[in-house]
Structure 1
Amino acid sequence: MTIRLIVKHPDPVLRERAQEVTKFNANLHKLLDDMADTMYDADGVGLAAPQVGVLKRVIVVDVGDEHELIEMVNPEIVVSEGEQLGPEGCLSIPGLQGDVRRANRILIRGQDRNGKPIQYESTEFLSRAFQHEVDHLNGVLFIDSAESVYEARKPEELEQDGD
């Protein structure tokens, strides 16, 4: 288990376009394992390789649904339909959230850790997570398209609202 350092905004690596993966080998497998460990350690639901300083087109996502951990290499959104507006945060921009308009349903294609083609059709939160992570691969942050940006609320503040 290796926890990598999460790159924070305004580090310029977050604004660069990640390169396509062409070698599916032990180095890629280690990157994917480390990214998952890092995401879980930070209580995130997604992480893109540029967020750990690696300019490769690699993402991991786990929104806590039946899919569990999803690893995608060279992901590409090929269909997007509908619209949703909702809050997003980012492990690379701690302390801020924003309301971002995204497609509600997408079809995303890519490869697994061994280069085998995979695809997912998703809606709602999983769709949002995929789009957020693919944006990272293109040097785009949620604050670039957020309709509003605000200070993130801490879990204890949310609990107080429920009292």
Structure 2
Amino acid sequence: MDTENRSDIYKSRTQIKKESEELQKLGERLIKLTPGQLKNIDIPNELRKAITDARQISARKAAHRNRQFIGALMRECDPDPILEALEKLEAGLSISPKREAPVVSPWVEAILENDEAIESFLTDHPSGDRQRIRQLKRNALKKRGTAPTGKEFKDLAACIQEVLNRS
């Protein structure tokens, strides 16, 4: 029993290194965001400044050191909300506190679950294209394992968002 408790507390150097590399990769994903997208993610100011600086560094060694610094800063904050925000952005959903983000997701989920949701959506928003929505739904269901982050899911979410914006 003591060995189980020790293994929960103890992390090998390899585990620590892998976690650090994952956090550094997460930081690199943050660097690729636009300033507007980055503004909506809740991160410490020091990390935000390091990410902004990273976009302007062109020297290879300096950029490498900056990415390592970003990884070190990432260790000090909780990566789960950041990862969740990045997944929402990659899924084509808004992470700003606007009204659109909560509205799109339930429609997308409902449409993926049953055909009646398409009819209900089109009743509420007649400017939508029934054929296109059904096609996007079919494509998303074919790739169901990757649907929440896949291209097909993003396309369906974008189509629904477009219809909602027109309404």
Structure possessing the higher radius of gyration over alpha carbons: 2
More strand by share: 1
Q: Decide: shared fold, TM above 0.5.
A: no
The TM-score with structure 2 as length reference comes to 0.24
Taking CA–CA contacts closer than 8 Å with sequence separation of 6 or more, which of the two structures ends up with the larger relative contact order?
1
